Chain A
């Protein structure tokens, strides 16, 4: 019991509002709509950091074991309201935050998050939750060291998604919003609204915008260039140069 309250305490002190944390870990986040390629990019970054021998932890939106079962049960029944939907995702996030993200940052890890609080800011607000309420709920979460926003026109994302996986899930398509009876049309409108929300956060939340229509290698190169600054000093000389020019 002692240990449990111990680590939860530390997580709270380093909240976004009054953070004076001396944690040396780095939090790197990718955001963007489905099909923007953000997961692929984070995977490549993960491989790179591990290849340098750094401690890396990867965490994904809506993936807590404890919460997953309950969330998916509710989702199947299509009983979730925007508020319960929001709170269940916040529960999932808090579990991963208190259990993994916060202690691992304390332990000097690179924590890589495939979606973070900005996903909630975008989705919950599109679903009808009040923006200020959503932001207050997540106020305990550390502001990332870097947030990469993979920006892509919804039509392009849609083509990518539908190519591989023609069946859309109920909430994924935003069917709970009654945007359209056609799930593809609903999906398109829903994703456009998400993009609007993300675009509004670029300045406010300091996103590093990556053009997700570029080649995978080019996007990765931009990402690594940005992340270089967080690497320990001993990597200053062995680092590959930006744009893949590592021969000099």
Chain B
């Protein structure tokens, strides 16, 4: 990159982080949302290669990856079921750790940060479990507002086949098994994913989430995403 990166103040969902010293972003935060099996990681790999080839420094981040808390979340899940507020706060702590130690420093330094899921997934999961939207929104008052958010939309029936082919089984929480929607795991999965998808529809306008048809081939989806990201990055320089 030869051009000088322009600095702008970080934008937050709510109160922000008042004690923070790095308040400027020279980079871009681009979020890919979507359920398991929607092709998020394939797309992130492709976008990363493309952006790096174009000379951008790229960092990827995702949920459940923080060194501080990540492992603990999995342990806790296995030991005994956690209440829904407890789980929501746990994920928020994990997210905050990554935000402050990874995402914000990278933005400050001028990286393009590709986020494999962000707070929207956390909020949707909470809402379908009965937690109020306002509480979830307020909880993430410290989160940085992304520059772009995509949602890879894939019908639940199609997702089921993709997930089953890849892993040979369904994830307990991703199937909504804790909600007792159905004794039949397939039915539970479809009902749960439908609720999550509906929640994303609810959030679209409020948070500027761009819905992308994830039912197409990987390269078709990628061309679509890439084109939108290019337009955005050009507008920034």
Contacts and interface: CB of A to CB of B under 8 A. Distances in A.
Interface in B126-167: 129-131, 135, 138-139, 141-142
Nearest to A98: B83
A199 to B, nearest CB: 21
21 contacts: A1-B81, A5-B84, A8-B84, A8-B85, A9-B130, A12-B84, A67-B86, A70-B72, A73-B68, A74-B69, A79-B97, A83-B17, A84-B68, A91-B86, A95-B83, A98-B86, A129-B18, A133-B15, A136-B139, A137-B89, A139-B135
Given A1-B178, A84-B68, A98 B85 contact: yes
Interface in B105-136: 129-131, 135
Given A83-B17, A136-B138, A139-B135, A77 B68 contact: yes
B96 A83 contact: yes
Interface residues of A, number: 40
Interface residues of B, number: 40
Contact residues of B: prevailing secondary structure: helix
Contacts of B69: 70, 74, 84, 88
Nearest to B177: A1
Given A87-B89, A91-B90, A127-B19, 15 more contacts: A1-B177, A5-B84, A5-B178, A11-B83, A12-B131, A66-B80, A81-B101, A82-B19, A84-B68, A90-B89, A98-B82, A98-B86, A128-B18, A133-B141, A137-B138
A74 B97 CA distance: 10
A2 interface: yes
List the 7 shortest-distance A-B pairs measured between CB atoms, nearest first.
A98-B83, A128-B19, A70-B72, A87-B93, A130-B15, A91-B89, A136-B138
B135 A94 contact: no
B234 interface: no
Interface of A: 1-2, 4-5, 8-9, 11-12, 66-67, 69-70, 73-74, 77, 79-84, 87-88, 90-91, 94-95, 97-99, 127-130, 132-133, 136-137, 139-140
Interface of B: 14-19, 68-69, 72, 75-76, 79-86, 88-90, 92-93, 96-97, 100-101, 129-131, 135, 138-139, 141-142, 177-180
B92 A87 contact: yes
B83 A8 contact: yes
Given A1-B178, A66-B80, A84-B100, A132 B15 contact: yes
